[in-house]
Amino acid sequence: MLLTSLNPAVVAAGADIADAVTIGGTTLSRSDLVGAATSVAERVGGASRVAVLATPTATTVLAITGALIAGVPFVPVPADVGAAERAHILTDSGAQAWLGELPADPGGLPHVPVRLHARSWHRYAEPHPDAPAYVMYTSGTTGAPKGVQTSRRAIAADIDALSAAWAWTPDDTLVHGLPLFHVHGLVLGLLGSLRIGNRFVHTGKPSPQNYAAANGTLYFGVPTVWSRVAADRQAAAALSSARLLVSGSAPLPVPVFDRLVEITGHAPVERYGSTESLITLSTLADGERRPGWVGLPLDGVQTRLLDDAGDPVPHDGETIGHLHVRGPMLFDGYLNRAEATADVLAADGWYRTGDVAVVDEAGMHRIVGRESVDLIKSGGYRIGAGEIETTLLGHPAVAEVAVVGLPDDDLGQRIVAFVVASTAAEAVPDELIEHVGQQLSAHKRPREVRLVAALPRNAMGKVLKKELT
Ligand code: MCA
Ligand code: AMP
């Protein structure tokens, strides 16, 4: 029951909150949200899937909430999406309409606008827990992004497990400034707040100043956000009055952890997960928070650590293995991609995360890295090297290319493209960067394009990415 806390009966019983959701300069009370979102539900009912351009606005919140009330799966489209990626998402998902904001090029789909001031008090029955809530596109090492199908049951299980781990209650005010097209900002931040019934504040840009001004109890951020907060002593000090600072989506550097402790008095909670699995591991509100470690399995989660031969490795805090997870929050497979699904999700429910980890005797997990150099994490965004390479090869100035994530103090990794220019056109780095932004998403643009005479290759002709530094 995803939206119990939005039940109009609860609102009518006096549980209204004047500032349930604050986003993009608009504040919605709980009854505003229920009334306006139910009116959205009335207009999308019957659609098989709708696309939502996930800008951080009240329109997006109402579009998503309305789709959830109606039981229509939504497809969050990155707010900064480019032409090729948008076309892929629309075609692959089979979305029938845009709900809410419209992109510059709607790609021929009809538009269902969201009316902020419309109200309906119709009571919808809660859809079946196995019904899909959304299809969210995420990058793999190669090829176009895949649509991750997630059920209402999975979302509810994850939020409830996090509520237990973090002592998250309706008394909290949750603050973040993250995108609403990924699990972190959308599922945990927005849907979490709707289910728990706490106040939700979206800060717009997740700048240290905006976090400091938001007066929250529970703050979410990716490590880049926490690193910027920790570098701003005044802003960080303002978070001392919060209850819990939570970091995830990428490794939190130990010096950032230590500096947050020093300035705010709070050891951040770290948690780990993915678009496919939702959050599966976390340190606890009332447990040990160890720098560099992402905690214990959440309620209902099992993990296993296997060597290359598929045998278990010891939980000694040192031996590295491939991390698999199992639990009620896992996805239902990639849309239209049975083979890709079977590669990572076993029939008995184990999900191969693609991460390597260690576990200690107490069950604490530390993520050591990823199996593939071709999945890059930059600013918490997951970016497939192959997708950017294919896009750059589509530019006439590019003969050969290798994209890598190089270490970056601010972003964790920054995207760098090593390009061998073709003779057909002049290779101008800024133009190539812009080309990626126009085709894929602004956040997938390489930070740097380096023109090189040749790429390092082994005897088989395979590019030796580890030599690109
Ligand atoms: C110039 N800029 C560029 C480039 N060149 N940006 C990107 N690539 C380039 N080549 C510009 C930007 O447009 C921006 O301009 C300015 O430089 C500053 O950019 P940047 O340093 O990137 O700062 P930012 O734009 O503020 O981004 C940092 C960020 C962002 C806010 C941390 O990366 C972010 O929102 N990350 C969150 C990702 C996330 O939520 N991931 C969750 C997925 P201008 O200022 O004009 O705009 S993981 C997940 O969901 C799982 C389940 C989990 O575990 O959580
Ligand atoms: P995404 O699907 O965008 O959520 O990316 C999932 C990946 O992000 C995981 O497989 C990990 O590689 C990485 N990740 C998420 N949270 C953490 C964390 N707390 N520490 C280290 N890596 C993380």
**pLDDT exceeds 60 at position 10:** no
Q: Does residue 41 belong to any structural domain of this protein?
A: no
Q: Does residue 242 belong to any structural domain of this protein?
A: no
The domain that holds 381 is classified in CATH as 3.30.300.30
**pLDDT exceeds 60 at position 7:** no
Q: Is the CB of 334 under 6 A from ligand 2?
A: no
- 100 sits in the region (left: phi over 0; alpha: psi -120 to 50; else beta) called left
Token couple for 115: 């009316």
* CA pair distance 124, 339, nearest whole angstrom: 36
Torsion angle (degrees, nearest 10) of CA 321, 371, 297, 221: 140
Q: How far is the CA of 16 from the centre of ligand 1 (A)?
A: 35
**pLDDT exceeds 80 at position 6:** no
How many domains is the chain partitioned into structurally? 1
Per-residue pLDDT, averaged over 456-466, amounts to 94
Place 40 in a pLDDT band, splitting at 50, 70 and 90. very high
Token couple for 64: 């998503």
pLDDT tens-digit series, residues 313-337:
999 999 999 999 999 999 999 999 9
Q: How far is the CA of 381 from the centre of ligand 1 (A)?
A: 7
HSE-CB for 81 with a 13 A CA cutoff: 29
**pLDDT exceeds 70 at position 385:** yes
Find the domain containing 404 and state its range: 375-467
Of 2-16, 202-216, 279-293, where does mean pLDDT reach its minimum? 2-16
Q: How far is the CA of 29 from the centre of ligand 1 (A)?
A: 30
Q: Does residue 182 belong to any structural domain of this protein?
A: no
Per-residue pLDDT, averaged over 349-356, amounts to 98
Q: How far is the CA of 278 from the centre of ligand 1 (A)?
A: 21
Per-residue pLDDT, averaged over 394-414, amounts to 98
pLDDT of residue 1: 41
* CA pair distance 261, 267, nearest whole angstrom: 5
Per-residue pLDDT, averaged over 25-29, amounts to 97
Q: Does residue 417 belong to any structural domain of this protein?
A: yes
Q: Quick one: how far is CA 95 from the chain centroid?
A: 20
Q: Does residue 398 belong to any structural domain of this protein?
A: yes
**Mean pLDDT over the full length of the chain:** 95
**pLDDT exceeds 90 at position 167:** yes
Which residue lies with its CA nearest to atom 3 of ligand 2? 382
pLDDT tens-digit series, residues 435-448:
999 999 999 999 99
Q: Is the CB of 352 under 6 A from ligand 2?
A: no
Sign of the Cα pseudo-torsion (146, 151, 155, 157, in order) = negative
Which residue lies with its CA nearest to atom 22 of ligand 2? 250
* CA pair distance 166, 379, nearest whole angstrom: 24
**pLDDT exceeds 70 at position 250:** yes
Supply the DSSP symbol for 244.
E
Supply the DSSP symbol for 236.
H
Q: Does residue 273 belong to any structural domain of this protein?
A: no
**pLDDT exceeds 60 at position 2:** no
**pLDDT exceeds 90 at position 13:** no
pLDDT of residue 327: 98
Q: Does residue 462 belong to any structural domain of this protein?
A: yes
Q: Please report the atom of ligand 2 found closest to the CA of residue 138.
A: 2
Question: Residue 251 CA: which ligand is closest?
Answer: 2
pLDDT of residue 457: 96
**pLDDT exceeds 60 at position 231:** yes
Q: Does residue 47 belong to any structural domain of this protein?
A: no
Residues in contact with ligand 1 by the CB-under-6-Å rule are 178-179, 182-185, 206, 222, 224-225, 248-249, 273-275, 379-382, 433, 442-443, 445-447
* CA pair distance 134, 174, nearest whole angstrom: 22
Place 424 in a pLDDT band, splitting at 50, 70 and 90. confident
**pLDDT exceeds 60 at position 3:** no
